[in-house]
Amino acid sequence: MSSNPSQLRLGIAGLGTVGIGVIKIVEDNADLLSARTGQKITIAAVSARDRGRDRGVDLGAYAWHDNAVDLAGDDNVDLVVELMGGSDGPAYALAKACLAAGKPFVTANKALIATHGKELAQLAEGKKAALRFEAAVAGGIPIIKALTEGLSANNISGLHGILNGTCNYILTRMEREGLPFDEVLADAQRIGYAEADPTFDIDGIDTAHKTAILAAIAFGMAPDIDNLPTEGIRNIVSVDIDYARELGYRIKLLGVARQQDDGVEVRVHPAMVPLSSPLANVMDATNAVTVSGDHVGPTGYEGAGAGQGPTASAVVGDIVDVARGVWYPPFGVPAAELGSPAHLGSEAHIGTYYIRLKVADVPGVMADITQTLAREKVSIDSMLQRGHADDGGVYIVLTTHETTEEAANAALNHFNALECVLESPAMLRIEAA
C-alpha cells in the first residue's frame, strides 16, 4: 500500500466505456471523494490493448502497462480495478496476482466472479484483501450492497431480477410497437443497445452470470454457473406478447433464485409476470430486482443496469468502501462456509404455465388437447381461442393450475405427436414476481 496513508492510488485495467467512466469520476469528483473517504484517490497506472487509441481523455499523466497483470506488482498502485471482462485469461490472472499479493481488487466482471468467485474469495480472505464487485450485477443499482449489508439480518427466501437491459429493451419494443424479435434486435444493434454478436445477452448467459452471483450472496453458496438452467428470449414471438397482455401478464427475462425445503432453485428464463407486479412495469433498458427477507418482507431495487455512468458509479462506490477501510467476506460469509446446497433441476419446479398451440381447425381437437393434459395430470386454469392464423391454423392458448415442470414438458411432447398440432408448442412459466 501507499507509504502515504492519506492517498489511494489506482491501477485500471481496461479502458473501454466503463474504464473511461471511472477515470472521469475520479478526476471530476476528486474533492468529493476525498471529503467522503479522508483520502486523496488518484490514478497511478492504466493498461489496455491499444496504447494509441483516442479515448477522449488525457492519459499522459499515468504509467502505462502493456501487460495488465503487471499492475499487481506495481509498487505505485494500491488498488487494482479490472474492467477487461472475460471469465479467464488476463482478467483471471490479474485477479489472482492482486489478491495473492494482498492488493485490493475491484471488478465489474460478472463472468469472472460467477466462474471463479469462491476461489478468489478464499484468496482475498487469506490476505485480508478487499474483493468487491458491485458493478458486476445490475450496473448502478447497489443490489450486492443491499444483500451483503442492508438485508444481512434476514433469511432471504427468494429474489427475481430483470438483469439484462438489452433483452428488456427488445421485449418492450416488441410489445409497444408490435414488431417481430428479429427487427427489434437489428435496431438494437444499430443504436448500440446490442452487440454485433448478441448471443451473450439474448440467450440469457449474461443474466445467468448475474443470477449466480446474487444467489451465492442470498443463500450463502458458492456461485455455480454450471448448474443454472438458462433460456433466453430468442424464441419469443409477437403472438405470445399479445396473448400475455390479454391474459393480464407481460413477458420478461428473469433471473430467479428461491430457497426451497429440499434445496435451492436457481434459473434464468423468459416468464409471464402479472401486470400488477412491479417487475412488469420495468420497461426499456432498465434493470430491477425484488428480494424477500423473513423480517423485512419484499423489497425492490430499480435503475440503470448498464452504461458508462451507472456502471462506473458502482465501481467507484466500491473504491470508496476500500478507502474507508470497509472489509467483509466478498459473499457476506467466509468462503469456507459457502455451501453447496442441492440444486433443484428445472423439472422439479412447481408452478403455473402458459402453453400456446397452433392446431388444425377440425373436429376433435379440443378433446385431444384435454385428454393429453389429463394424462399428465395437468389441469387447465383458462383457455383462449382467437380466429385463424395466416395458414388456416387456429391458435389455442391455455394457462394451467400448479403442476410440475416435468408434467408440463411431458404434455408438450405428447402435443408434438398429435396430427392436429401444426407447429411445435410454446411454453412459458408464469411467475408471481
394-404 pLDDT per residue, tens? 999 999 999 99
User: Is-contact 383 396, C-beta < 8 A?
Assistant: yes
Residues of the chain with CATH 3.40.50.720: 7-136
Mean pLDDT over residues 52-64, rounded? 91
- Return the C-alpha cell found at 411: 404434455
Catalytic residue among 103, 110, 118, 210: 210
pLDDT category of residue 54 using cuts at 50, 70 and 90: confident
Percent of the chain residues past pLDDT 70, beyond the cut: 97
CA atoms of 92 and 104, how far apart (whole Å):
14
Mean pLDDT over residues 9-35, rounded? 97
- CATH number of the domain at 143-303+340-346, out of 3.30.360.10, 3.90.550.10, 3.50.50.60, 2.130.10.10? 3.30.360.10
131-140 tens-digit pLDDT: 999 999 999 9
pLDDT at 390: 65
82-97 tens-digit pLDDT: 999 999 999 999 999 9
Mean pLDDT over residues 45-51, rounded? 93
Mean pLDDT over residues 192-204, rounded? 93
Which class is domain 7-136? alpha beta
Whole-prediction pTM: 0.94
User: Who contacts 380 (Cβ-Cβ below 8 Å, separation ≥6)?
Assistant: 370, 373, 398, 399, 400, 401
CA atoms of 93 and 96, how far apart (whole Å):
5
β-pairing, 79-82 with 403-404?
Answer: unpaired
pLDDT at 373: 95
Residues of the chain with CATH 3.30.70.260: 349-430
pLDDT(3) > 60? no
pLDDT at 386: 72
pLDDT at 38: 96
- Return the C-alpha cell found at 107: 471488478
pLDDT at 132: 98
The reply to whether 210 belongs to the active site is yes
pLDDT(80) > 60? yes
Phi, psi for residue 182 in degrees, rounded to 5: -60, -35
Residues of the chain with CATH 3.30.360.10: 143-303+340-346
In degrees, rounded to 5, the angle at the alpha carbon of residue 304 between the alpha carbons of residues 298 and 307 is 150
167 secondary structure, DSSP code: H
339 secondary structure, DSSP code: B
pLDDT(166) > 70? yes
pLDDT(100) > 80? yes
pLDDT(406) > 70? yes
pLDDT(4) > 70? no
Name the CATH topology of 349-430. Alpha-Beta Plaits (3.30.70)
pLDDT(39) > 90? yes
User: Is-contact 361 355, C-beta < 8 A?
Assistant: no
Mean pLDDT computed over every residue of the chain: 94
pLDDT at 388: 66
Q: What is the CA radius of gyration of the chain?
A: 24
